[in-house]
Amino acid sequence: MGKSIFEYHKQMMTADPGYKAAYEALEPEFAIARALIQARSEAGMSQAEVAERLGVTQPAVARMESGKNVSIRSLSRYAAAVGKPIQIVINPASAAAGAD
């Protein structure tokens, strides 16, 4: 039997700097995805229930929960649908690290 995806990922993170850089560049999307899924889970709701409140389809909610191309308006509507406040923070420490 071959390696699991998790074993492969761990290997690639240490063996391939390009893979690691590309993976780390996706962290903002991962953070959005984690926050949306956690908020929905804490609200005890399914994707279908959130979709019904938003007036969209369940696959649309799944796409939002992927963290890709989610607008601030969509995030606000999602947060309201699951009964959670929304807070967007721009971390000046991260920006300052790359600025010269």
Residue 42 has pLDDT above 60, yes or no: yes
Q: What angle do CA 74, 29, 45 make, to 5 degrees?
A: 55
pLDDT at 61: 96
- Delineate the domains of the chain, giving CATH numbers in brackets: 31-98 (1.10.260.40)
Tokens encoding 43: 């609200």
Contacts of residue 19, defined as CB under 8 A and 6 or more positions apart, other chains included, come to 12, 13
**Quick check: 99 pLDDT over 80?**
no
Encode pLDDT of 20-29 as tens digits.
Answer: 999 999 998 9
Distance of CA 77 to the CA centre of its chain: 16
pTM above 0.75, yes or no: yes
pLDDT band at 96 (very low <50, low <70, confident <90, very high): low
Do 61 and 47 meet the contact criterion of CB atoms below 8 Å apart? yes
* Residue 91: predicted pLDDT: 78
93 pLDDT higher than 80: no
Q: Which residue has the tokens 């889970």?
A: 41
